[in-house]
């Protein structure tokens, strides 16, 4: 049986943790409407289906279209081509064209792409720490 003092200690620790997080969020300062829109579009870009998987494939060594296609399971050729173009336009992938016969096109993560993958890593860790969806729905 858990004593009242142990429960109180746990409650106090939880409150202290929440207070600490509130303080850190408050220290971020005011976020104006333009910053909020920029944040929203950034999160939507990073979370758009296939973007992270394609970028991760590039970080893991995929260079040619066929390598991305074999690494990113389930994406159609048309959608992969569109996503590669979007990722290039956003500056997270770099497209390299070599004048060979036939022409060789490769894609590599840019510095911004590597930064994005690094920034997404804490989300991966957060997801691993959460119960699986089947556990949440059964609970």
3-class state of residue 131 by DSSP: coil
What tens digit of pLDDT does each residue of 6-44 get? Answer: 677 778 888 888 888 888 777 777 778 888 899 899 999
Phi, psi of 100 (to 5 degrees): -115, 175
With 60 as the cut, is the pLDDT of residue 139 above it? Answer: no
Model confidence band, residue 83 (pLDDT cutoffs 50, 70, 90): very high
For residue 48, the 8-state DSSP code is S
Separation between Cα atoms, residue 123 and residue 120, nearest integer Å? 5
Cis check: omega of the bond before 72, within 30 degrees of 0: no
What's the pTM value of the predicted model, to 2 decimals? 0.72
16 versus 71: which is more confidently predicted?
A: 71
């Amino acid at each position: 049986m858990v004593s009242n003092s142990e429960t109180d200690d746990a409650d106090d620790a939880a409150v202290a943790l929440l207070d600490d997080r509130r303080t850190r969020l408050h220290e971020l300062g005011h976020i104006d409407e333009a910053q909020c829109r920029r944040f929203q579009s950034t999160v939507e870009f990073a979370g758009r289906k296939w973007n992270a998987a394609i970028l991760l494939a590039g970080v893991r060594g995929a260079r040619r279209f066929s390598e991305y296609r074999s690494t990113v399971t389930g994406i159609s050729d048309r959608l992969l081509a569109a996503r590669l173009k979007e990722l290039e336009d956003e500056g997270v992938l770099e497209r390299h064209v070599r004048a060979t016969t036939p022409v060789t096109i490769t894609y590599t993560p840019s510095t911004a792409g590597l930064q994005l993958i690094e920034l997404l890593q804490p989300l991966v860790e957060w997801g691993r720490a959460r119960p699986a969806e089947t556990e949440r729905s059964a609970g």
